[in-house]
């Protein structure tokens, strides 16, 4: 039996006290690993649980698939010191834990409908080992009501315990940034909703151990779930606006990046830089769309924003066609070199499907695609089914078009005067990352097309 739902501040006010208690984090993606690291920092005994053997094998070696370098370094340290252990057995992990964090994301089917089966299965297995008195905190981005239906019902059925009486149940929000760092998570306020007052107090106390920011309590779990989605949809809408303005600038002969910087000095509501890799495909709006459909509500603006961001794949294809056409070439049989796989500049992280979908689309249109990222080895990218080259030289050699997707420092430092002797002239540059000055690229003989570049 655990005493987590009855803890007081004095039970967690020192490292030696926290070290007596176990935390299981179910789901070792970016969110789960970040949370596991923060609990280990607070000296709880942490178990990382995931159904993917590859992830567990990496974690046992102190490695993570990708992410914030600071996170990777801290995970390695905690695993080495025994503060974090890894397993695929949720039942056993739950049987020794006082706190259980669910960080298992839902998936979407082909019709963009949410599929919560992975969360349901994780709850069923966890419930078998669930101890009375434990505290469950859900940290997934999910539709409003899912915690108190799918999660609660699955846990109660498999454990024989009752939520709110035998174990605590709460929900907390996730950082809306597409790639939050540990510092982002520690310093950003967290919203918490719970099934009853006891669960709310316990969850607030526990979360205060891993954040320096405000804990915002709301009336119930459904409200907290909705707030999390609202924040993510707001980000989606803002990036769609930036994307739409960038597309306007392309046709109007205006440099969007210059306009955006100037605008943000004048206006308090800042316009973000279009971020194709992060916002091309976000599952979060679809979770809200599903609930809106169930209650016969309309979300016109959010739906339009999602279409704009999703359309950027086809726009990239159009930019590439146009750039090649200006070189007197066609997309069919052209060698296209995609430079950059990472989601963020100078960070080894892959989580979004844009590059994969771009490779598929270019191949479908007859192009020969090669790919290179200095932060990944050829073997690593090949294992992810990317048509990777070992070196930058090999990737750009004989290329008809170079597509830059991320602003790595190494890419910004490229000498285009040297690159032009490797490509098949005349060649094009499609700059999705604002990595080059258009005039410099044109001076070196490249046809240049850039996102938001008139």
Domain-located, residue 144:
yes
Tell me the CATH number at 196.
Answer: 3.40.50.720
In this prediction, residue 234 carries a pLDDT of 94
Q: Are residues 127 and 220 in the same domain?
A: yes
Tens of pLDDT, residues 306-345: 999 999 999 999 999 999 999 999 999 999 999 999 888 8
Q: Are residues 46 and 155 in the same domain?
A: yes
Rounded CA gap, 401 and 395, in Å?
A: 11
Rounded CA gap, 114 and 143, in Å?
A: 9
CA 158 vs. chain centroid, Å, equals 31
Domain-located, residue 248:
no
Q: Are residues 156 and 59 in the same domain?
A: yes
In this prediction, residue 65 carries a pLDDT of 79
Rounded CA gap, 40 and 101, in Å?
A: 13
Give 10-residue mean pLDDT values along the chain (454 residues): 96 96 96 95 98 94 81 94 97 98 94 95 98 97 96 98 98 76 87 98 98 96 97 93 95 94 86 84 92 96 96 96 97 97 82 87 97 92 91 96 95 94 97 93 96 90
In this prediction, residue 112 carries a pLDDT of 92
Please report how the helices 300-310 and 312-326 are oriented relative to each other, as an axis angle in degrees rounded to 10: 40
Is the omega angle on the peptide bond into residue 342 within 30 degrees of 0, that is, cis? no
In this prediction, residue 277 carries a pLDDT of 81
CA 3 vs. chain centroid, Å, equals 34
Question: Which residue range forms the structural domain that includes residue 155?
Answer: 4-229
Tokens of 282: 């976000």
Q: Are residues 193 and 70 in the same domain?
A: yes
State how far the alpha carbon of 251 is from the alpha carbons of 163, 244, 359, in Å.
57, 11, 26
Q: Are residues 130 and 225 in the same domain?
A: yes
Domain-located, residue 71:
yes
Among 229, 251, 276, where does a domain finish? Answer: 229
Q: Are residues 9 and 107 in the same domain?
A: yes
Rounded CA gap, 173 and 229, in Å?
A: 9
Percent helix / strand / coil, the chain, rounded to 5: 45, 15, 40
State how far the alpha carbon of 169 is from the alpha carbons of 51, 122, 194, 321, 451, in Å.
23, 15, 6, 53, 45
Token pair 């005493």: residue:
3
Q: Are residues 201 and 328 in the same domain?
A: no
In this prediction, residue 177 carries a pLDDT of 61
Among 173, 199, 229, where does a domain finish? Answer: 229
CA 196 vs. chain centroid, Å, equals 31
Rounded CA gap, 78 and 381, in Å?
A: 27
Among 229, 252, 273, where does a domain finish? Answer: 229
Q: Are residues 317 and 225 in the same domain?
A: no
Per the DSSP assignment, residues forming a β-bridge with 163 are 167
Q: Are residues 225 and 321 in the same domain?
A: no
In this prediction, residue 22 carries a pLDDT of 98
Other Cβ atoms closer than 10 A to 8: 11
In this prediction, residue 281 carries a pLDDT of 83
Strand, coil or helix: what is 248? helix
Q: Are residues 212 and 325 in the same domain?
A: no
Strand, coil or helix: what is 299? coil
Question: Length of the chain in residues, anyone?
Answer: 454
Check if the beta carbon of residue 323 is closer than 8 Å to that of residue 429: yes
In this prediction, residue 345 carries a pLDDT of 87
In this prediction, residue 279 carries a pLDDT of 80
Domain-located, residue 331:
yes
Domain-located, residue 290:
no
Check if the beta carbon of residue 79 is closer than 8 Å to that of residue 62: yes
Q: Are residues 225 and 329 in the same domain?
A: no
Domain-located, residue 243:
no
Q: Are residues 335 and 225 in the same domain?
A: no
In this prediction, residue 351 carries a pLDDT of 63
Domain-located, residue 269:
no
Domain-located, residue 213:
yes
- Count of structural domains, the chain: 2
């Amino acid at each position: 039996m655990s005493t987590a739902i009855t803890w007081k501040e004095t039970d967690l006010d020192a490292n030696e006290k926290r070290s007596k208690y176990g935390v299981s984090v179910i789901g070792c993606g970016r969110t789960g690993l970040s949370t596991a690291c923060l609990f280990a920092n607070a000296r709880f005994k942490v178990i990382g649980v995931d159904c993917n053997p590859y992830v567990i094998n990496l974690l046992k070696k102190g490695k993570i698939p990708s992410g914030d370098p600071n996170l990777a370094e801290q995970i390695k340290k905690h695993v080495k010191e025994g503060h974090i252990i890894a397993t695929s057995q949720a039942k056993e992990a739950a049987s020794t834990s006082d706190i259980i964090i669910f960080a298992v994301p839902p998936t979407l089917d082909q019709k963009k409908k949410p599929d919560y089966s992975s969360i349901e299965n994780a709850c069923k297995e966890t419930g078998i080992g669930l101890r009375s008195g434990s505290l469950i905190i859900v940290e997934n981005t999910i539709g409003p009501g899912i915690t108190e239906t799918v999660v609660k019902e699955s846990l109660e059925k498999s454990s024989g315990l009752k939520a709110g009486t035998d174990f605590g149940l709460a929900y907390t929000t996730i950082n809306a940034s597409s790639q939050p760092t540990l510092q982002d998570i520690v310093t950003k306020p967290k919203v918490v909703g719970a099934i009853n007052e006891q669960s709310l107090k316990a969850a607030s106390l526990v979360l205060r151990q891993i954040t320096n920011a405000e804990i915002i309590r709301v009336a119930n779990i459904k409200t907290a779930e909705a707030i999390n989605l609202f924040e993510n949809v707001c980000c989606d809408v803002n990036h769609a606006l930036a994307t739409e303005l960038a597309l306007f600038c392309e046709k109007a002969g205006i440099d969007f990046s210059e306009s955006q910087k100037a605008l943000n000095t004048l206006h308090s509501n800042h316009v973000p830089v279009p971020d194709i890799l992060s916002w091309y495909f976000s599952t979060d709006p679809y979770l809200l769309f599903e609930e809106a459909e169930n209650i016969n509500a309309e979300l016109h603006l959010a739906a339009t924003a999602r279409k704009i961001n999703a359309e950027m794949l086809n726009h990239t294809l159009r930019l590439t066609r146009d750039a090649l056409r200006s070189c007197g070439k066609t997309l069919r049989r052209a060698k296209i070199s995609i430079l950059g796989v990472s989601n963020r500049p100078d960070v080894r992280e892959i989580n979004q499907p844009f590059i994969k979908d771009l490779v598929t689309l270019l191949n479908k249109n007859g192009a020969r695609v090669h790919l290179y990222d200095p932060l990944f080895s050829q073997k690593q990218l090949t294992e992810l089914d990317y048509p990777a080259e070992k070196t930058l030289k090999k990737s750009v050699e004989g290329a008809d078009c170079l597509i830059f997707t991320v602003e790595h420092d190494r890419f910004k430092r490229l000498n285009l005067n040297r690159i032009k002797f490797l490509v098949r002239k005349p060649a094009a540059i499609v700059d999705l990352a604002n990595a080059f000055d258009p005039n410099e690229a044109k001076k070196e003989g490249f046809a240049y097309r850039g996102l938001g570049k008139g």
